[in-house]
């Protein structure tokens, strides 16, 4: 149970750090948030739990392809906010667009022979 609690604490601290830094500098918070720290932590936790390098390689490949789909959020959300949409609606709509892109990306990858 302690290893799980450590994983949760480290990951939560990262998210809180981004939010707190964002109060002072959105640019600095953006740099920290854009770093693949969550992905790296997930790879570390998975390797520590399994010791399986091939699973890490598969995870890294999956992350790469899904990052492309997630970029829709970072394009659509600021566009909606700047167009005057309310924050909650903008977040929901950009999240829905991103989810649709995830599903589309999975379908495209399946057609090219990627297995999930």
The domain limits of the chain are: 52-116
Upper half-sphere CA count for residue 60 (Cβ side, 13 Å): 10
The pLDDT tens digits of the residues spanning 74-106 come to 999 999 999 999 999 999 999 999 999 999 999
Long-range contact set of residues 89-98: C-beta below 8 Å, sequence gap at least 24: 97/72, 97/73, 98/69, 98/70, 98/72, 98/73
- Inter-CA distances, 101 with 28, 49, 60, Å: 28, 31, 19
At 116, the pLDDT band (50, 70, 90 cuts) reads low
Residue 84 per-residue DSSP state: T
How much is the pTM?
0.71
């Amino acid at each position: 149970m302690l290893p799980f609690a450590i994983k949760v604490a480290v990951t939560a601290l990262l998210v809180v750090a981004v939010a707190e830094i964002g109060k002072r500098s959105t640019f600095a918070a953006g740099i920290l948030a854009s770093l693949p720290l969550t992905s790296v932590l997930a790879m570390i936790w998975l390797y520590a739990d399994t010791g399986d390098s091939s699973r890490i390689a598969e995870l890294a490949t999956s992350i790469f392809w899904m990052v492309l789909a997630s970029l829709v959020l970072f394009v659509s959300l600021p566009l909606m906010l700047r167009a005057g949409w309310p924050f909650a609606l903008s977040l929901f709509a950009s999240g829905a667009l991103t989810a649709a892109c995830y599903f589309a990306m999975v379908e495209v990858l399946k057609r090219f022979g990627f297995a999930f």
